[in-house]
Structure 1
Amino acid sequence: MRTKVMLTVLLAGSLYQGWAQNTDSTIQYYTRLAKSSDEKDKALLKNTLYQLLKSDKEDDWLTARRFFYQLNEINVSDSITKADRVKFPLGQVVRDSEVEPIYNEKDPVKKEEMFKAWISKYPPEKLGSDRIVYDYARNSVSTAYANEDNVEKAVYYAGQIETGPWRGEGYASAAQALRKKGHLAEAADLYKKARAISYEYLTTKRNEPGAGFAAMGFRGYSTQLASVYVDQKRYEEALPILKEAHDSSKTVSAATNSAYVQVLEKLGKNNEAFDVIDESVKEGQATGEMKATLKRLYAKVKGSDAGYDEYMATVNKQLAAKIRKDLAKQMIKETAPLFTLKDVNGKTVSLADYKGKTVVVDFWATWCGPCKRSFPAMKLAQAKYGSNSDVQFLFIHTWEKEENATASAKAYITDNKYPFEVLMDLKNAKGVNEVVTSYKVSGIPTKFIVDKNGDIRFRFTGFSEGEDAAVEEVSAMIELAQKG
């Protein structure tokens, strides 16, 4: 039912280096010890990790760092990073820190020069088998040249990406930049390559590592390629690509269906276009523009707009009933960890303050794209309960990546005029964000619905792509939690 925007985290950089040199069984063993509730297991793991730090291999150090982080020994993990820089001055940690200026440089010529010097200093063949950190840098150079209308360089660096499952993203990133600059033919060629790579991982390479991520891009790359064709008024060529994108997944995509409808209508296929929008609204995946198109198509297909309001009322009722039916099966009952935090204005707020109310707890961060993309829908959901004193929304900023996180969070909320109660889950003396850890969150955005008795009734990560579906889901969870 739920079409989630995936929290895609490519494990690049030295934090995850070293695993490739260990056997899968060793990794699994360490993971079991880290997750164990038995303190003896964790003590055994710590002892093993300290033994790894006696090694002369950086991979062993980075494995130790990773698992100390999993054990919430953040300060130990940070200390390993500092010591690693000294022991391995040409190693992966230093390499990854020195790539940052390349990303920050705006001038493509300077960026390329910096990239060449960096890769010469840290040759890939001497630093493990992982190439993703080099690919990110190549992608940065490629995009910079695309933004400056240097098509040849943009295409060249996009083609240099080595990590198979990420090659499609590299091509698509350059294509997006070239399309914005009006280089439609070149953008279309790159989207074709991205689409072809993704299709391989969707079919013949589906069992290879990283296949899930690579395959996930097929619908998006297809939609973007077709959109370039639409820009060129090549509707007949766009149609089969959009049909394949539409048919490639059991879930509904607002972006794909919107483009599909546009092409169908351009080709005079009004009945088919209406069916696609009808599918979208029934899944809560219709944009405002699609709803306007739906009303126009309804009149064309039905002969008049008589009955449109009743049709929409029925669709919305069916969507609500379907979501509630699905969510009722997902209810849980776990005691919600209590917390007391400062909001962005310094006011102290405790979960206990809202005993007797239904509380929506939303973990987010300013650096988290999916978190921020969910906010317009969350604003609508909060507004829906604006006059209901029995419902409270709390937005907890966590996993900060900058020194003045409170000011940044406040500025973001203020600049975007979000009427949210924002609390700050800052790192403690051990470097741990206590609240998000107590809720066992592994990725953000993650939201919890806490009932009036202080029990978690729903936990969900990500968010529904369509605003209608997202608002309806939050509403359904609140109402189901209130009923108990």
Structure 2
Amino acid sequence: MNIKLTIALVLTSGSLFAQTATNHDVKRINEVAENGTLAQKEALISELLTETKKSKDPNRLETISNYLYYLGRENSSDSLRNIVAKKYPKSQIARSQYITNVYYKQESAQAKEKSWKQLIKQWPIPKTEEIKIAYDYVLGDLTRTFANEGNKVKALEYLDQMNERFWRAQGYIPVANTFLQQGDTIAALPLIQKSIEDAEYYITLPKEQQDNRSGFAAVGYPGYVSQLADIYSKQGKHEDVLPLIERAIALAPNSASNFSSAYFKALQNAGRNLEALQQLELIYKKGTFTYKPNMKELYTALNGSDKGFDAYIARLDKDVVKSIQEHIGQYATSQALPDFELLNLKGEKVSLASLKGKVLVLDFWATWCQPCIRSFPGMKAAQDLYLNDKDVQFLFINTWERDKNYKENVAKFISTNKYPFQVLYDDQKDPETGKVLAAKLGVNGIPAKFIVDKEGIIRYALTGSSSDIDYIKLEMKELIESVKQPKKS
């Protein structure tokens, strides 16, 4: 799960670092937090705590609270937030605490609606150009609750109150999905269409006008288009599908591969079997093998029989492996793996020293990270390839957990899913830097994987993962086998 875009949006909204903080201030704090020694961090924390006793600006105090959290002083951050909320009841911190402690404690739509009305009465929605994401988060939840309870009128009423055009698809699409599950396609369609229109508005802005909001709005665009194409197909409106997808590809050519699944179906329905098969080839070569039955169907239709299909797939497999061999170069790096000593699920210490002489596959993950979880069947398949290879060790390093009882949750998750993984808890801070292993390695998104050679040198580092089991297995094999070879000088 990549968090760079999320951070960028939060920064844009001003809810992480208040606008009173200068760029220099932000840069200085970030530098110390990322690369400072423990002594430098403690000095900065002391400076910030001293400032809290003088400042009477709730926005600045919120900024300091966020800095303290970023620097690992969660308790001090929480304490400061509580003080500010009590002393400045109209502040953004007080608003946030109301949303967390009052609004989200409600269960029914009616109770949430009452809390929403109290929220905007006590903290009116600004009429300025200030980004109003905090209110849209709540509106999104409120609309979903009404939709889940079957109150379509109320759900649509509150959807119309969404403030931010770049964000409102996050409210529209979940409600549209609920309507679809309830069999109400007529109500769902306009919401999906509006989501597409909003994304296209930002995608087509002149480059100089595009910002983080544009990037965020465009992220879901392929999914919205594919969903609408699927609805049109089910309605028998095949003539509407191709123009929809071809327009999307023209507007977002860099995302063309994300439309391939919907595009192949539209081409097949239009009787353009060769082009449909070509789209599936693109999907296959990118590591998604689930459409192999469809490929066989199209291949047979084009050739009159399935003779030669296995050889055709074998050629594609060679292309896939070649593509993997070519693209893993972008993951190449060369840095020493920092020393570590972490606890496993049994409470036993596992150190880097104890793994000396092995090729290591480090997979940083968290129980809440869906891309991490989706990659696990593939990672298990990759690990199974090396079960009898004593020179290769997979380590699944649990990091960034949010719950206090994370160890119990992690153990339960691994046990329930019967994953034969060596799991380590990344919760031991380095006494010199105050960083956990993920931070020392510069991890800024998970899943993050590192392939380490027998000398303890990280040879490959990659963030994100496919969810296709066979592709992950192939990619991991190529990475591991590459690392097994002596490094060229």
TM-score, normalised relative to structure 1: 0.88
Listed as ranges, the gaps of 5+ residues in structure 1 are: none
- The residue aligned with 2:456 is 454
Residue identity in the other structure for 2:180: R
CA deviation after TM superposition for structure 1 residue 46, in Å: 4.7
1:40-79 equivalences under 5 Å are: 45-46=44-45, 49-50=48-49, 52-53=51-52, 54-79=54-79
CA distance in 2, matches of 1:447, 1:294: 32
CA displacement at 1:416 relative to structure 2: 2.4
Shift of 1:316: 1.1
Q: 2:463 is aligned with what amino acid?
A: T
1:416-462: CA deviations, max 9, x gaps? 23222221223669996622222222222211111111111111111
CA 1:88–1:429 in 2, change beyond 3 Å: closer, same or farther?
Answer: farther
- In the aligned structure 1, how far is the partner of 2:3 from the partner of 2:28? 28
CA distance in structure 1 between the partners assigned to 2:434 and 2:115 by the alignment: 35
Q: Are positions 1:175 and 2:176 aligned together?
A: yes
Question: Quick one: structure 1 residues 129 and 394, their matched pair in 2 at CA, closer, same or farther if it must change by over 3 Å?
Answer: same
- The aligned residue for residue 30 of structure 2 is 31
Q: Which residue of 1 aligns with 2:195?
A: 194
Q: 1:20 maps to what in 2?
A: 19
Tell me the percent identity.
Answer: 33
Q: How does 1:142-153 map to 2 (within 5 A)?
A: 142-153=143-154
Residue 377 of structure 1 aligns with an amino acid whose one-letter code is G
Structure 1 residues 448, 27: closer, same or farther in 2, change over 3 A? same
Whether contact under 8 Å (1:252, 1:283) holds in the other structure is no
Q: Does 2:11 align with 1:9?
A: no
> For residue 262 of structure 1, what is the amino acid of its counterpart?
K
- AA aligned opposite 2:242: L
Q: How does 1:88-167 map to 2 (within 5 A)?
A: 88-100=88-100, 101-103=102-104, 105-125=106-126, 129-167=130-168
CA distance in 1, matches of 2:444, 2:303: 49
- Corresponding residue for residue 331 of structure 1: 332
AA aligned to 2:391 is: D
Q: Structure 1 pair 22/433, CA: closer, same or farther in 2 (3 Å)? A: closer
> Tell me, what secondary structure is at the counterpart of 2:394?
strand
317-326 or 68-77: bigger deviation: 68-77
CA contact (8 A) 2:360 2:451 kept: yes
Cα distance in 2 for partners of 1:386, 1:38 equals 40
Structure 2 counterpart of 1:212, one-letter code: G
**2:6 corresponds to which letter in structure 1?**
V
Q: Equivalent residues in 2 for 1:43-442 (5 A)?
A: 45-46=44-45, 49-50=48-49, 52-53=51-52, 54-100=54-100, 101-103=102-104, 105-125=106-126, 129-204=130-205, 206=207, 207-246=210-249, 248-250=252-254, 253=257, 256-286=259-289, 288=290, 290-426=291-427, 434-442=436-444
- Structure 2: gaps (5+ residues): none
Tell me which residue corresponds to 1:470: 472
- TM-superposed CA distance for 1:140, in Å, is 0.5
How far apart in 2 are the matches of 1:145 and 1:310? 54
Q: Which moved more, 1:349-358 or 1:333-342?
A: 349-358
Contact kept, 8 Å, 2:5 with 2:212, in 1: the verdict is: no
2: distance between equivalents of 1:180 and 1:447? 37
| Superposed displacement of residue 34, structure 1 | 4.6
Q: Report which stretch shifted further, 389-398 or 147-156.
A: 147-156
Are the structure 2 counterparts of residues 311 and 224 from structure 1 closer, same or farther at C-alpha, using a change threshold of 3 Å? Answer: same
Question: Contact 2:362 / 2:397 at 8 angstroms: preserved in 1?
Answer: yes
Indicate the larger mover: 363-372 or 74-83. 74-83
State how far apart, in whole Å, the 1-side matches of 2:222 and 2:78 are. Answer: 40
Question: Cα–Cα, structure 1 residues 43 and 409, in superposed 2: closer, same or farther, change >3 Å?
Answer: closer
Match of 2:482 in 1: 480
Task: Letter of the 1:214 partner, please give it.
Answer: A
CA distance in 2, matches of 1:196, 1:128: 22
Quick check: 2:3–2:444 contact (8 Å CA) kept in 1? no
Aligned residues: 478
Deviations 1:331-390 (A, max 9, x none): 211110122222223233223222111111111111222222222222222223233222
Q: Contact 1:143–1:174 at 8 Å: present in 2 too? A: yes
Answer whether contact 1:222 1:241 (CA < 8 A) is retained. Answer: yes
Question: CA 1:16/1:428 → structure 2, altered by over 3 Å: closer, same or farther?
Answer: farther
CA RMSD of aligned residues (A): 3.1
Amino acid at match of 2:239: E
Change (3 A) 1:103 1:261: farther
Q: Relative to structure 2, which stretch is displaced further, 421-430 or 94-103?
A: 421-430
- Deviation per CA, 1:10-60: give whole Å up to 9, x if none: 655999444233444543454345555588976785566346422111211
58-67 vs 75-84, greater mean Cα deviation: 75-84
Aligned-pair distance for 1:253? 4.6
Is the alpha carbon distance of 1:123 and 1:427 closer, same or farther for their aligned partners in structure 2, counting shifts above 3 Å?
farther
Distance 1:414 1:98, change over 3 A: farther
Alpha-carbon contact 1:344-1:407 (below 8 Å) kept: no
Q: For the structure 1 residues 246 and 416, does the alpha-carbon distance in structure 2 shift closer, same or farther, using more than 3 Å as the test? A: farther
Output the CA distance in 2 between the equivalents of 1:453 and 1:253: 39
Aligned letter for 2:67? F
